[in-house]
């Protein structure tokens, strides 16, 4: 998995083809509605963090982003042979959810150093109820260490709790909202500070969720 250094960018022809196919799939099959514009920079590194409703979330969020997002994703998804080639093609970083995965963290930091956008689901697992789960602190640690901002995004409307293949095949009506970037100092990467830093991120995402609920009522 990801043995060779990943060097594709948004300008790569293969990425452009995959992006066009994903936009069509997301907008017409899953009816993705972008409720606020993407806040990612035109160039340079950053960490995109999102709540996590189902296994199709990365593809739907990617459809709303002009930048290529290199998602950190549970390594067991690579066991789905039909999807493995795609994950490698777009630079997915596999993560072992059985414990702290230092190899995945190193790969993520290398991606940020190379100027990529890193995608993280800080809840660490798929939500089963209509509330945000506690956030793990890893994204804040990496943001502080790499000196890059965190860009929150909120997604709603996917089939809550479904794994990847059922979620991909089940049509949805999806809303996506992007928040303003959050910046962190070097000391925010320390353990206690990182937890507080991620509370800022969680609150920002909660604000996006509240806005989404207000607009549909």
Q: What is the pLDDT of residues 128-145, one digit of tens each?
A: 877 899 999 999 999 999
**pLDDT the model gives residue 3:** 56
Separation of CA 10 from chain center = 17
**pLDDT the model gives residue 217:** 53
pLDDT at residue 209 greater than cutoff 90: yes
210: tokens are 């509240």
- Tell me the whole-structure pTM to 2 decimals: 0.93
**pLDDT the model gives residue 95:** 92
pLDDT at residue 183 greater than cutoff 90: yes
Question: What's the rounded Cα separation, in Å, for the pair 184 and 150?
Answer: 8
Task: Give alpha helix (H) positions in 77-190.
Answer: 81-89, 102-113, 138-146, 164-169
pLDDT at residue 115 greater than cutoff 60: yes
Contacts of 173 (CB under 8 A, 6+ apart): 30, 31, 33, 157
pLDDT at residue 1 greater than cutoff 60: no
Separation of CA 202 from chain center = 14
> Which DSSP state fits 71?
E
Are 121 and 47 in contact by the 8 Å Cβ rule? The answer is: no
Angle of helix 138-146 relative to helix 102-113, nearest 10 degrees, comes to 40
**pLDDT the model gives residue 184:** 94
Residue keyed to tokens 């992006």: 19
pLDDT at residue 164 greater than cutoff 80: no
């Amino acid at each position: 998995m990801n043995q060779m250094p990943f060097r594709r960018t948004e300008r790569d022809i293969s990425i452009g083809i995959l992006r066009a196919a994903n936009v069509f799939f997301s907008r017409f099959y899953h009816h993705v509605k972008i409720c606020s514009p993407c806040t990612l920079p035109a160039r340079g590194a950053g960490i995109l963090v999102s709540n996590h409703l189902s296994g199709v979330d990365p593809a739907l969020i990617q459809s709303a982003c002009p930048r290529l997002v290199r998602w950190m994703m549970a390594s067991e998804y690579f066991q789905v042979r039909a999807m493995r080639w795609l994950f490698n093609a777009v630079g997915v970083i596999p993560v072992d959810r059985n414990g702290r995965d230092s190899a995945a963290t190193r790969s993520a930091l290398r991606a940020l150093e190379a100027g990529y956008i890193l995608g993280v689901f800080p809840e660490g697992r798929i939500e089963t109820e209509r509330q945000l789960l506690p956030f793990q602190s890893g994204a804040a640690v990496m943001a502080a260490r790499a000196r890059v901002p965190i860009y929150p995004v909120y997604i709603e409307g996917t089939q809550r709790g479904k794994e990847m293949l059922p979620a991909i095949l089940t049509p949805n009506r999806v809303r996506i909202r992007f928040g303003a970037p959050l910046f962190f100092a070097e000391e925010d990467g320390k353990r206690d500070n990182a937890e507080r830093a991620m509370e800022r991120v969680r609150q920002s995402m909660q604000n996006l969720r509240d806005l989404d609920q207000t607009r549909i009522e």
